[in-house]
Amino acid sequence: MLLIDAGNTAIKYRRVVNGELKKEWIFLPEGEGKPNDDNLTFTDEEVWISSVRGKDIPLPPGSNIQWVGPHLHLPFEISDTLKNSLGADRLCVYAALTELCPLEAVACAITLGTAITYNVMTPGHRAIGGAISPGPAMRFNSLHQATRQLPLTYANEAFDFPAETTSQAICAGVMQGITHELNGFADQICQQFSPDTTFFLCGGFASDFENQFKKRNFVFPDLVLKGLYRLALLNRNV
């Protein structure tokens, strides 16, 4: 079986052999990288795909392709309105939470990528939705593109708050702004549902905020792929 997580920035490919997720390879559509040709010449009996970028992605030939969507059997409770509005990646995230969390738990998965998504699950493995906001790169780019003089700055520049230089001020505004956002949403979730809420951080920027996040949390880089595999197992013979 081959699992594919086609995100906004990169496409991750992961082979499943004897029930284990093997080493992944990544394709960057912008041309910075591509899958090893050998990895796309084999034919898998099953290919399961979570995609937020449509169906125009590199695929191995002659495979049985299955796309994640609301038509699948889902291992969690969800309203029809939410089910039909969630992207494939968020459906996979909820599927992963059902495996990682007990039935009576409250959990929230926060994906820090091109966008930041908050996905809340309440007892009974009920998916109830969450929030979406711009990710770090989007915030840096928008400040540069929507103004006449602000430079394009990156998250790897050292900064303090209050910041002296413009670049440092942008870093402080973006990175500490996201930190305050994360902790603010976390406080609201804990107050509204349970102080024992468990948080999972995933996505390319998760490690940048792990130490600034005040609630109990687990960094789980492969959360979408884990959920995708769970959905594949539940639906492969349906």
Start and end residues for every CATH 3.30.420.40 domain found in the chain: 80-137+151-227
Q: Is the pTM for the entire model greater than 0.95? A: no
pLDDT-derived band of residue 232, with 50, 70 and 90 as boundaries? very high
Nearby residues of 163 by Cβ (< 8 Å), 6 or more positions away:
169, 171, 172
**Residue found by looking up tokens 């990646």 in the block:** 89
pLDDT tens digits for 111-158?
999 999 999 999 999 999 999 999 999 999 999 999 989 999 987 777
pLDDT tens digits for 167-198?
999 999 999 999 999 999 999 999 999 999 99
Tell me which fold the domain 80-137+151-227 belongs to. Nucleotidyltransferase; domain 5 (3.30.420)
pLDDT tens digits for 186-229?
999 999 999 999 999 999 899 999 999 999 889 998 899 999 99
Return the active site residues.
89
Whether 91 contacts 68, CB under 8 Å: yes
**Phi, psi of 63, rounded to the nearest 5 degrees:** -100, 160
DSSP state at residue 141: H
**Phi, psi of 205, rounded to the nearest 5 degrees:** -105, 10
